[in-house]
């Protein structure tokens, strides 16, 4: 993942960009039922889990995120994981909506968005000076 000059982005800058993608996804989940129809039930889950470590039992470590942001992310992750385990891998949009999971996830995702936006979005071009401490697990 390089920048416009052809230089490789630093790990810090990649984490800042990833943090912004996380915010985008949390904003989508905060829309509740309205988040399901445009993308479909499968993509509702896939878009979220694509931002997670490959081994989902590993914690997300992002040096651009604060401990509070990691905790907010973890809260949403736990609910999304429960929802994914409680629904069929071939769940239809209607089945997912009827299950109530998108509405339950929405309130937790909205709180997570609030936590992330306390600092605003990260720069995608310049490394920000303030480094967040990795979460203590």
Structural tokens at position 60 = 């997300």
For residue 53, the model assigns a pLDDT of 86
**Does the pLDDT of residue 7 top 50, yes or no?**
yes
For residue 1, the model assigns a pLDDT of 46
- Its pTM stands at 0.86
For 38-62, give the DSSP string.
HH-HHHHHHHHHTTS-SSTTSPP--
Number of domains in the chain: 1
Q: Answer for the pair 28, 47: CB distance below 8 angstroms, yes or no.
A: yes
| 96, part of any domain | yes
Measured in whole angstroms, the distance separating CA 36 from the mean position of its chain's CA atoms is 16
With 0-12 CB in 10 A as exposed, 13-18 as middle and 19+ as buried, what is 92?
middle
| 130, part of any domain | no
Structural domain boundaries enclosing 78 = 11-52+63-117
* Residue range 39-45: mean pLDDT, rounded: 96
Q: What is the pLDDT of residues 102-136, one digit of tens each?
A: 999 999 999 999 999 999 998 888 888 765 444 45
Q: What is the pLDDT of residues 76-110, one digit of tens each?
A: 999 999 999 999 989 999 999 999 999 999 999 99
| 25, part of any domain | yes
For residue 125, the model assigns a pLDDT of 86
Under DSSP, the state recorded for 8 is: B
| 41, part of any domain | yes
| 57, part of any domain | no
Is residue 86 classed as helix, strand or coil in its secondary structure?
helix
Q: What is the pLDDT of residues 9-36, one digit of tens each?
A: 898 899 999 999 999 999 999 999 999 9
Q: Answer for the pair 103, 33: CB distance below 8 angstroms, yes or no.
A: yes
| 92, part of any domain | yes
Radius of gyration of the chain (CA): 16
| 133, part of any domain | no
- N- to C-terminal Cα distance for the chain? 29
| 125, part of any domain | no
């Amino acid at each position: 993942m390089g920048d416009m000059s052809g230089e490789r982005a630093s790990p810090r800058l990649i984490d800042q960009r990833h943090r912004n993608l996380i915010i985008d996804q949390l904003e989508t989940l905060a829309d509740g039922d309205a988040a399901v129809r445009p993308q479909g039930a499968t993509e509702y889950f896939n878009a979220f889990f694509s931002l997670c470590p490959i081994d989902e039992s590993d914690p997300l470590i992002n040096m651009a995120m604060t401990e509070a942001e990691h905790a907010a992310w973890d809260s949403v992750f736990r609910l999304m994981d429960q929802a994914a385990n409680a629904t069929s891998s071939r769940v239809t949009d209607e089945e997912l909506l009827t299950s109530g999971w998108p509405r339950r996830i929405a309130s937790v995702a909205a709180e997570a968005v609030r936590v992330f936006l306390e600092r605003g979005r990260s720069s995608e071009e310049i490394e920000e000076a303030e480094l967040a401490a990795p979460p203590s697990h």
